[in-house]
Copies of this chain bind each other. A is one copy, B any other.
Amino acid sequence: MDVYISGVGMTKFGRSKESLEKMMAEAASSALGKAQLERADAIYLGFMNVEGFVGDSSFAALLANTLGLTIPSSRVEIVSSTGAGAFETAFYAVASGHMKHVLVLAGEKMTHLPTAKTTRILSEGIDRSERRYGATIPALAAMITQKYAREFNLSPLKLEDILAQVAIKNHSNGTLNPYAQFRKMITKQDYLKSQMVSYPLRLYDCAPITDGASAVVLTSQPAPIKVSGIGHATETTAVRHRTSCTSFNSTKEAAQKAYTMAQLNPSDIQFAEVHDAFTPFEIIGTEGLGFFSAGEGWKALEEGITHLRGRLPINPSGGLKARGDPVGASGLAQLVEIVYQLRGEAGTERQLQRAEIGLAQSDGGLGNNNLVTILERADRKRILKVGSTRLREGRSPDDHPEMSVSKRSTPSPPPLGVGVLETFTTLYAVPEGFRSPLTLAFVKTKEGEVVMACNPDYRSPKQLKMGEKVSLKTREGLFVFEKLTFWNRLKDWMKNRDTSLF
């Protein structure tokens, strides 16, 4: 059964004094009003961590109560892709024919907590062993960024320039969006002045902490907007164990599924909302979605292709970067923006001219989950041939090598000795209990295993080089790496000469 969207709504994103349920009620009323409905057959709710952020559980029934309804109400959670996940779940409920109108409602309230607590809550989604080193989501994103730059030969200055351009573009789009948290232009100067969070990522590379809610009504009755394709895939949680660090396999696989369901190609997409929780992720995302070849996404940005008046506008809403990122709500807010654009309701300045088919991509964690959703105007004329779908560099799910349960769940024997610095970052905004700055790295051992390692003595990323050889030791149960300088080698030899290791 085909599924349509009959109404959308959202609160203004930002710092709000309202309670979470009040924000959600506001978004819901707006979407139900647009759909001209008084009640739906069910509610699917998205929060990332309502227990951690707000201290309540049982929110599913509470929200139904708040809306004065006794209808089924279920919560869906997929970390930062929660809003898109609630939409996917609701899509199947309507597509099954068992439900006619379903309300999808997602929100998060975060700004009332101290940043350190918010960082801890968000970090709970990281692989446990990586978390033990003090890694945060920005730290891992920074390490992925370093690998991307190395793989595609971007100098530190060039990388800085590209990331600044993403931030500037999305802030510029945000000024035109009345629902956006940030509505001010930023300059390259502003970008460069913003503090380093985790080298090379600055504050202006990271989506902010935000309160907000978004809502969509799905229906089986024909309406102007149709859901054409949905894809969802997962990827190894531990970033160091992935086959590729410079693209997310989960994005590629989810996109492939969505294109197949929609019987479309990447080139058919006219605009997209891409999960720019970190500016480099917008570039990596546009490549994973098949819009540009690997390593070419930044060129499209430089050429203005992804700008608001470009051939393929990316994040016309301002993205997570400027619209704000109430974690659970963001994936659904992307779809709200797509609907505004498809309906021609984005306002004269933000409205895109070609807006008949749009795509949203939402990342759960560091690409752990990925959801790709394609919406189009129901009156759009299709001239495509069935089965013509092909992703650039597309891969089938079976190509994807995965670690076995046993391999990951038993601790590896300490692979001490010499290794190669696969990627690293210097983290300045450390979680509670760690000293700032903290240098983290992935080191590839001679046996080919990639391990997480740290060195609290390196106070600046300038001291290290991607790809250089380092020594690995264990200290207090953690791997510690060190540059393989003559003096370090001598020091080690001095320390060990009595123990007859040589």
Contacts and interface: CB of A to CB of B under 8 A. Distances in A.
A405 B68 contact: yes
Given A124-B56, A125-B58, A128-B56, A89 B76 contact: yes
A124 B58 contact: yes
Nearest to A3: B96
Nearest to A80: B58
**Most chain B Cβ neighbours within 10 Å, of A21, A78, A128:** A78
A57 B49 contact: yes
B364 A60 contact: yes
Interface string A220-233: 00000000000011
Contact of A237 (B25, B61, B234): B61
A68 B22 contact: no
A287 to B, nearest CB: 19
B72 A58 contact: no
A365 interface: yes
Interface in A407-456: 408-409
A74 interface: yes
Contact of A73 (B60, B98, B234): B234
A236 interface: yes
Quickly give the copy total for this chain.
2
A342 interface: no
Given A70-B235, A92-B93, A95-B96, A124 B51 contact: yes
Contact of A61 (B65, B234, B261): B234
B1 A96 contact: yes
Interface stretch (A382-390, A396-404, A460-468, A478-486): A396-404
B58 A404 contact: no
Interface size class of A (residues with CB under 8 A): 35 or more
Interface in A131-152: none
B70 A400 contact: yes
A126 interface: yes
A409 to B, nearest CB: 7
Contacts of A96: 1, 91-93, 95-97
Interface in A47-97: 48-49, 51-52, 55-58, 60-62, 64-79, 85, 88-89, 91-93, 95-97
Looking at chain A's contact residues, is the secondary structure mostly helix, strand, loop, or mixed? mixed
A365 B58 contact: yes
A368 interface: yes
A249 interface: yes
A253 interface: yes
Interface in A7-41: 19, 21-22, 25
A500 to B, nearest CB: 40
A124 B58 CA distance: 7
A125 B57 CA distance: 4
B74 A405 contact: no
A58 B115 CA distance: 20
Contacts of A72: 88, 232-234, 369
Nearest to A29: B405
Interface string A91-129: 111011111000000000000000000000100111010
Contacts of A253: 70
A364 to B, nearest CB: 7
A50 to B, nearest CB: 9
11 contacts: A51-B51, A57-B79, A57-B121, A60-B77, A60-B78, A61-B235, A69-B234, A77-B77, A89-B92, A92-B98, A93-B96
Given A58-B364, A66-B409, 16 more contacts: A52-B52, A56-B128, A58-B237, A60-B364, A61-B79, A61-B365, A66-B405, A67-B405, A70-B249, A71-B234, A75-B78, A92-B95, A92-B98, A95-B96, A96-B97, A98-B261
Closest 10 CB pairs of A and B: A61-B368, A58-B125, A72-B232, A95-B96, A64-B234, A92-B93, A96-B96, A92-B96, A57-B124, A57-B125
